[in-house]
Amino acid sequence: MRRTVPALLMALGLALAQKPAVVATIHPHGLFLRSLVGDRVGVSVLVPPSANPHVFDPSPSQVQAVAGARLVVANGARLDDWILEKVVRPNSLKTPVVVLAEALGSGLIKTPTGPDPHFWLDPLLMAKALPPLVEALSQADPAGGAVYRARAARLEAELARLDREVAGLLQGRKGPGVITFRNPLRYFTSRYGVKVLYNIVPNPDSPDISARAVAEAQRVAREAGVRHLLIPLAAKEQGVAVARNLGLEPVLVDVLGEGAGDYPTLLRKVAEAFARSLP
């Protein structure tokens, strides 16, 4: 007997409900996870890409989403400590949490305030996150282990191609370097050999811009012939005002992938912003 439309819809709804769920704290890791798990796992993200993950306050419905997930993927390195401090521990949740910064360990860039948390801007470093992610996913969903291993192998090859693509885009750019408004860009500049001549707000926890820093940025720009200021999209309003004060053209960098539909697009957009800033 042929199923009726309502019966088919009910069956589809049950199938979707039974799909394993994984929660990422931030959008870049959500994009990365979707490339790894494909259609086998439902991936949701707690922090919208337009929000600041450092000071995020999860809602009750998001706490419920974490409670019902098979796995949580967090960034770590002080970016999203709230996932443990405000969600998992206070509610005694049993959902396992993978902290990628801890898995990457010595590969992180050290700063005076601790490890730089923006490691997703280095595709080869993200490739090193694949084994711990596959292990955690396989433990959460043992039936999908072979799927995750196969997709991880393909994704690792794709990340290597992406690295070559970005390096090729920036190769031959003759600019002396870049001036940045804030600096969530260390991993990208380190990977691709881009010199940061000056960073106007070096402390990520500081909202203040000193007159001395602005004057120094103006001096560096004049002496080096730099015409652009690289500004993380999240600091657009403040950064654009500073750029205009300096007489520099603002170039926005979408660090959190607000306008990206997948991880490679996130990195390409960052690379394109740098290419515009390096004549």
- List pLDDT tens digits, range 192-233: 999 999 999 987 666 678 899 999 999 999 999 999 999 999
- List pLDDT tens digits, range 244-272: 999 999 999 999 999 999 999 999 999 99
Q: If pLDDT is split at 50, 70 and 90, which confidence band does 136 have?
A: very high
Q: List, as one string, the DSSP characters of 57-125.
A: ---HHHHHHHHT-SEEEE--TTSSTHIIIIIITTTT----EEEHHHHHGGGSPEETTEE-S-GGG-HHH
As a whole number, mean pLDDT of residues 123-143 equals: 97
Answer yes or no: is pLDDT of 8 > 60.
no
Domains and CATH numbers, the chain: 5-165 (3.40.50.1980), 172-277 (3.40.50.1980)
pLDDT at position 183, please?
85
pTM value is 0.90
What CA–CA distance (Å, rounded) separates 164 from 236?
A: 29
What CA–CA distance (Å, rounded) separates 230 from 147?
A: 40
Burial class (CB in 10 A: 0-12, 13-18, 19+), 92: exposed
What is the crossing angle of helices 130-140 and 145-170, to 10°? 160
